[in-house]
Amino acid sequence: MIRHTVAFRLKHPRGSADEKAFLDAGKALADIPGVEKFERLNQVSPKNDFHFGYSMEFADQKAYDAYNDHPLHVAYVRDRWIPEVEAFLEIDYTPLA
């Protein structure tokens, strides 16, 4: 299992319609084959500057790679992520044996 997480901050004002539209569009990522346990999250720690997070799990690296290369993901990164995200950090976890 690989848990892919990304914490991020948007260019949009907090609570704006643009913010809501971005987060709503993110739901589509859950439908890409291989994506399990998709979550949209608020980031609430004052110890970093991110406001939101996405978390999803993949069975293995092959499923993760297929997600990265999937046309829906590629289009999402191009059309929503790059234009609307101000800063982000990807953190990926596997269980410690």
Residues forming contacts to its own copies in the complex (CB under 8 A) are 2-5, 7, 23, 39-45, 47-48, 50, 52-53, 55, 89-96
Number of neighbours of residue 35 by Cβ within 10 angstroms: 19
Residue linked to tokens 């997600």:
67
Q: Which is nearer to its own copies, 59 or 89 (CB)?
A: 89
User: How many Å apart are CA 4 and CA 93, to the nearest integer?
Assistant: 7
Nearer to its own copies, 32 or 57 (CB): 57
Provide, rounded to whole angstroms, the least separation between the CB of residue 46 and its own copies.
Answer: 9
* Closest CB to its own copies among residues 72, 89: 89
- 25: closest CA among 79, 61, 68? 79
